[in-house]
Each structure stands twice: as structure tokens, then as C-alpha cells.
């Protein structure tokens, strides 16, 4: 049942210091005057229940909207129902990271020597030590290789080691995702290029030519820890197998066309970074042995130090592009800062749940990760809206959220959008969410959370259809249309 309170009740309740919303059944039309032919009065707000019925969305709908300054809930539909938040989770992760780490936090990657350098020769080992940087790319490693040369290193007598133990190792973000899904890579304390390798193919007179490289804006070094073989078949499109610390892929020739490219996930992140650094070091005249993974943090001298940008722009990019790896890394880093013992990604998610309960009053937050990729996560719309209202003053989340664009009935972007919306979207198969802030036409600021989920449709998806299940795209489009109509309704009800 949809519930709301009038602005008059909201004002009187606010001055009375009421902490809980007072619920009332909604009228069939807005309490504000209906628009008259002479232009006096206000528009009519359609009932939320009517919008839900006419949306054509199967499954369940839950939402809540609140005054962004006070947190008082103004209206809700199943606001206390636990729903999978999908990538809306990243908004909570951003709050968590800003609160625990601070907006100016920087990740650090270092090169450590375990011996002395004499006449350009390092007598001990060289170790590439990750600090969890989610933005580390090939260009950054190239700069580190150049700095190693400037530090006077020409030769390494010992081993070349890579260390990613600053964070727990996760082989695959979500085991239910297809092996080739680039949004579900491995994660460790040493990550490169979002732990993805670039696969490119071309068909020539002598057959298929494929490359696997770690390209960036300036470089495109080939890699040896990921290999691809084209096989004569139609399905499956990809197969994956890990053998001797190498990712072995096959791809169906009939799915390739004449040529193309895509990013594939990396399952050996530390060795991938070491493989690329070894190539870049060789370009600077430094010969290194094959990278070997170490589980022990080295004690030695830092000869090269690379720092990421500050956390706030990293989070802004995470929210804009919905980067799963960034969300998991910053979440685990925050949990580590809080002193939580981390043996797994779920351990870190549980620590964020505790933080959400203690800091934001989200007593029922039950997340299994920091990105929302895991479908077993649950949040309640009313609790999330309350958290968003608090975050507006505590962590200034709103400025780093992406602007939500309205669309007309033909799906075209609305050029002149009167209602400003900054929010995070979330999408899984038959799951759609939108949560953030809206500024009504009169300047009223509201926090909101809208979720739709069809659990039956999700359960019926066949394994081979997980990337593009039948009906999911149409369902998601209808969910987004409902989100926009609800926001427009709230503009009429709570904005002049």
C-alpha cells in the first residue's frame, strides 16, 4: 500500500520534533489545487499506486521519498521490504569510503628492494607491492619503470616478486556471472587496468590473428599470462581454464565475424601486473626474471613510490561508470582501516553493514559485497533514504553522483529538464534501482530510493541466457519509465 503525508503535516511534525513519519492513506489526487483552464492552481499528481499498476512491470516495487534536510519520510510503497540494490550499493560504498578514509585519501603502489644497489646492480630481490589502487594502469607502471631506471637500477640479481596481499584475493566477484564478463574480474591488493586484458582479433588470408595485451593511452604491451585460441564451433562463445598460473581462453570462430575487440577479465591479477611491468622495465634496459607471486609483505627499501589521485574523483568516476572493481577495492580498504579482520569480500561487506547500522541507522542492511553485483544483497528503501539524507550533510555525496536524464515517450533525452536529479542507477537481470537526490522546480530537495525486482523471472533464467535473458531489456525500460514518473509526481506534490 502506498502511503504519504501532506506538507502541512510534515511542517507541523518537524516543529514538534517527530522522529517517525506519520502514515495516512493517499487521496486519489494531489492535495494541491487541480490545474484550471485559466492557468491558476497546480497540476494534478497521479496516485503512485496508479503509476505502478499502469507501468506493466511484473514483480514487486518498493520506494521511499524523504525531505533531504530532515530525513522525514514523505511517502512510501513497501518501504521496509528488503530488495537487491544492484549497483545502487555503490552509493552506500561511496559514503562508507568518504567517512572512513576521507576525500583526500590516496592509494600507493611501490617498488621495494631487499638488497643493496651497487654499480647499477641490485643484489637482492625487486618487489612490486600493491596498495589496492583501483586506478593503476599501464601508463602508471611505465612511469614506475622509468623511475626505477632513474634510481640507478640496471640489473637485478635476485627474484622479481609481486605482492597483492594488502587486500583479500577474490578470484571472481560473482560466481554466477559468465567467465568472460569483464565486470566480474579477480581482485587483490595489486590490480591493473581494472584487471582486464584486451583481446583483439582479425581474419586474414592465413586465418585468425589474435592479440592479448594490456593497452593504455600510450602503450600496448603483449601479455603472456592470458592466452587465446580460436576454435571451430558456434557455442559456447568462450571457455576458460586456469593452467599453471595462466588464463587459457578459447573462443568460437563463428561468433567472431571479420574482426573486433573486447576486454576480458583477468584471474591472475598480481602476475598480470608483474608480466606487464617486466616488459616495461625491459624497454628501460632493465632485465627482470619472470614475475613470481609472494604472500609475504617484503621488508626492504622503497625505491619508487606511485600515488593515485585523491579518493573523491575516484569515487565520482566509480559512480559514473559503475566500476565494480573500484567499489570492491575502496570498500575493502575502508574495512581494513576500521580494523576489521578480512579473509574474504563478504567479511568486508559485513563490516560496512555494521558501519551503516551504527553510523546511519540502517539496522537491516545486509550486503554481500560493495558493488551490488551479488544478487543476495538486501537494502530497505526507507533506510537507504534516511542514509542519503544524512549523507547530504556528512559526506557531501550529492555532488559526485551522476545526473539522471529524463526521456520523452519516444526514448529521446529531454533537452530542458526542469527537475534536477543526481542519483545512482542499479541494474541486474530483472532488477532495477535508482536512488539519490532530486531538486524540485521550486528548489525543494528530496532524497529518494526506488527499486523493482521480479524474483520469479530471475529464477527462470537459463545459464546460457544470463548475459541477455529474454524480456529483461523490455522489463528494465519499463522500470526506468516508472522511476521518472514517480520523480515527476514528487515534483508536483512537494515542489511548488
pLDDT at residue 205 in the model = 82
The span from the CA of 436 to the CA of 366, in Å, is 19
Residue 236 burial by Cβ neighbours in a 10 Å radius (0-12, 13-18, 19+): middle
Sheet holding 402-403, edge to edge: 2-4, 73-77, 60-67, 445-453, 431-439, 420-428, 402-403
The span from the CA of 273 to the CA of 436, in Å, is 36
Mean pLDDT of 422-451: 96
Band (215; pLDDT cuts 50, 70, 90): very high
pLDDT at residue 395 in the model = 66
- To the nearest whole percent, how much of the chain has pLDDT over 70? 91
Bridge partners (DSSP) listed for residue 436: 423, 448
- Residues contacting 169, CB < 8 A, separation 6+: 186, 187, 188
pLDDT at residue 43 in the model = 67
The C-alpha torsion from 407 through 413 and 419 to 425, rounded to 10°, is: 70
Band (12; pLDDT cuts 50, 70, 90): very low
The span from the CA of 358 to the CA of 26, in Å, is 33
pLDDT at residue 105 in the model = 98
Task: Specify the higher pLDDT residue, 7 or 109.
Answer: 109
pLDDT at residue 466 in the model = 78
CA nearest 327: which of 163, 85, 140, 109? 85
pLDDT at residue 391 in the model = 82
Residue with cell 592466452: 227
Band (142; pLDDT cuts 50, 70, 90): very high
Bridge partners (DSSP) listed for residue 306: 109
What is this structure's pTM?
0.89
Please determine, for residue 6, whether its predicted confidence score (pLDDT) is greater than 80.
no
Band (410; pLDDT cuts 50, 70, 90): confident
Residue with cell 503525508: 5
Sheet holding 301-307, edge to edge: 292-293, 160-163, 126-129, 108-113, 301-307
Please determine, for residue 28, whether its predicted confidence score (pLDDT) is greater than 70.
no
CA distances from 230 to 238, 239, 256, 263, 433 (A): 9, 10, 9, 16, 38
Residue with cell 558501519: 355
Please determine, for residue 40, whether its predicted confidence score (pLDDT) is greater than 90.
no
Please determine, for residue 343, whether its predicted confidence score (pLDDT) is greater than 70.
yes
The span from the CA of 111 to the CA of 126, in Å, is 7
pLDDT at residue 41 in the model = 42
Tens digit of pLDDT for each residue in 72-102?
A: 999 999 999 999 999 999 999 999 999 999 9
Q: Which of 53-57, 335-339, 462-466 has the lowest mean pLDDT?
A: 462-466
CB atoms within 10 A of CB 473: 11
For 88, which DSSP code? G
Band (392; pLDDT cuts 50, 70, 90): confident
Angle formed by the axes of helices 381-394 and 345-360, to 10°?
70
Tens digit of pLDDT for each residue in 272-324?
A: 999 999 999 999 999 999 999 999 988 999 999 999 999 999 999 999 999 99
Band (496; pLDDT cuts 50, 70, 90): low
Please determine, for residue 8, whether its predicted confidence score (pLDDT) is greater than 60.
no
Task: Specify the higher pLDDT residue, 310 or 25.
Answer: 310
Residue 146 burial by Cβ neighbours in a 10 Å radius (0-12, 13-18, 19+): middle
The span from the CA of 226 to the CA of 214, in Å, is 10
Band (214; pLDDT cuts 50, 70, 90): very high
DSSP state string for 200-233: EEEEETTEEEEEEE---SS---B-SSEEEEEES-
The span from the CA of 488 to the CA of 85, in Å, is 22
CA nearest 195: which of 279, 130, 145? 130
pLDDT at residue 250 in the model = 98
Q: What is the largest CA-CA distance in the chain?
A: 90
C-alpha of 203 from chain center: 35
C-beta separation of 445 from 437 below 8 A: yes
C-beta separation of 37 from 23 below 8 A: no
pLDDT at residue 393 in the model = 58
Task: Specify the higher pLDDT residue, 481 or 5.
Answer: 481
Please determine, for residue 37, whether its predicted confidence score (pLDDT) is greater than 90.
no
The span from the CA of 104 to the CA of 311, in Å, is 6
Radius of gyration (C-alpha) of the chain in whole angstroms: 26
Please determine, for residue 242, whether its predicted confidence score (pLDDT) is greater than 90.
yes
pLDDT at residue 394 in the model = 61
The span from the CA of 315 to the CA of 321, in Å, is 10
- Residues contacting 102, CB < 8 A, separation 6+: 311
Q: What is the mean pLDDT of the chain?
A: 89
pLDDT at residue 34 in the model = 35
Please determine, for residue 162, whether its predicted confidence score (pLDDT) is greater than 50.
yes
Band (204; pLDDT cuts 50, 70, 90): confident
The span from the CA of 302 to the CA of 414, in Å, is 53
Amino acid at each position: 500500500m502506498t502511503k504519504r503525508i501532506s506538507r502541512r503535516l510534515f511542517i507541523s511534525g518537524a516543529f514538534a520534533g517527530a522522529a517517525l513519519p506519520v502514515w495516512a492513506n493517499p487521496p486519489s489526487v494531489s492535495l494541491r489545487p487541480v490545474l484550471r483552464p485559466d492557468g491558476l492552481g497546480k497540476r494534478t499528481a497521479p496516485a503512485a499506486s496508479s503509476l505502478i499498476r499502469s507501468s506493466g512491470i511484473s514483480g514487486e516495487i518498493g520506494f521511499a521519498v524523504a525531505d533531504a534536510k530532515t530525513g522525514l519520510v514523505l511517502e512510501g510503497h513497501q518501504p521496509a521490504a528488503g530488495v537487491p540494490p544492484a549497483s545502487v550499493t555503490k552509493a552506500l560504498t561511496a559514503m562508507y569510503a568518504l567517512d572512513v578514509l576521507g576525500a583526500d585519501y590516496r592509494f600507493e603502489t611501490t617498488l621495494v628492494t631487499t638488497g643493496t644497489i651497487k654499480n647499477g646492480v641490485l643484489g637482492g630481490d625487486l618487489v612490486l607491492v600493491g596498495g589496492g589502487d583501483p586506478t593503476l594502469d599501464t601508463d602508471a607502471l611505465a612511469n614506475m619503470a622509468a623511475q626505477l631506471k632513474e634510481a640507478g637500477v640496471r640489473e637485478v640479481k635476485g627474484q622479481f616478486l609481486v605482492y597483492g596481499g594488502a587486500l583479500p584475493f577474490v578470484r571472481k566477484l560473482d560466481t554466477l556471472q559468465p567467465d568472460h564478463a569483464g565486470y566480474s574480474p579477480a581482485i587483490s591488493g595489486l590490480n591493473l587496468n581494472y584487471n582486464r586484458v584486451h583481446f583483439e582479433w582479425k581474419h586474414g588470408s592465413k586465418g585468425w590473428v589474435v592479440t592479448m595485451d594490456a593497452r593504455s593511452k600510450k602503450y600496448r604491451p603483449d601479455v603472456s599470462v592470458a592466452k587465446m585460441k580460436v576454435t571451430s564451433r558456434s557455442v559456447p562463445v568462450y571457455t576458460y581454464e586456469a593452467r599453471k598460473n595462466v588464463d587459457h581462453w578459447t573462443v568460437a570462430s563463428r561468433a567472431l565475424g571479420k574482426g573486433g575487440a573486447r576486454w576480458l577479465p583477468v584471474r591472475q591479477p598480481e602476475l598480470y601486473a608483474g608480466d606487464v611491468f617486466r616488459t616495461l622495465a625491459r624497454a628501460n634496459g632493465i632485465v627482470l626474471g619472470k614475475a613470481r607471486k609472494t604472500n609475504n609483505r617484503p621488508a626492504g627499501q622503497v625505491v619508487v613510490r606511485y600515488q593515485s589521485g585523491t579518493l573523491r574523483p575516484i569515487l565520482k568516476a566509480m559512480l559514473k561508470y559503475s566500476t565494480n572493481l573500484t567499489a570492491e577495492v575502496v570498500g575493502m580498504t575502508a574495512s581494513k582501516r576500521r580494523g576489521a579482520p578480512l579473509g574474504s569480500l563478504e567479511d568486508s561487506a559485513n563490516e560496512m553493514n555494521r558501519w551503516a547500522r551504527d553510523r546511519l541507522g540502517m539496522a537491516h542492511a545486509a550486503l554481500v559485497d560493495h558493488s551490488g553485483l551479488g544478487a543476495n544483497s538486501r537494502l530497505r528503501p526507507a533506510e537507504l533514504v534516511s542514509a542519503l539524507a544524512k549523507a547530504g550533510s556528512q559526506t557531501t555525496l550529492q555532488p559526485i553522483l551522476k545526473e539522471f536524464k529524463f526521456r520523452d515517450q519516444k526514448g529521446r533525452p529531454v533537452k530542458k529538464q526542469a527537475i534536477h536529479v543526481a542519483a545512482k542507477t542499479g541494474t541486474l537481470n530483472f532488477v532495477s534501482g535508482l536512488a539519490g537526490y532530486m531538486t524540485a522546480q521550486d528548489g525543494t530537495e528530496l532524497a529518494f530510493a526506488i527499486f523493482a525486482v521480479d524474483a520469479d523471472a530471475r529464477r527462470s533464467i537459463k545459464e546460457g541466457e544470463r548475459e541477455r535473458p529474454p524480456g529483461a531489456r523490455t522489463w528494465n525500460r519499463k522500470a526506468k519509465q516508472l522511476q521518472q514518473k514517480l520523480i515527476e509526481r514528487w515534483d508536483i506534490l512537494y515542489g511548488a
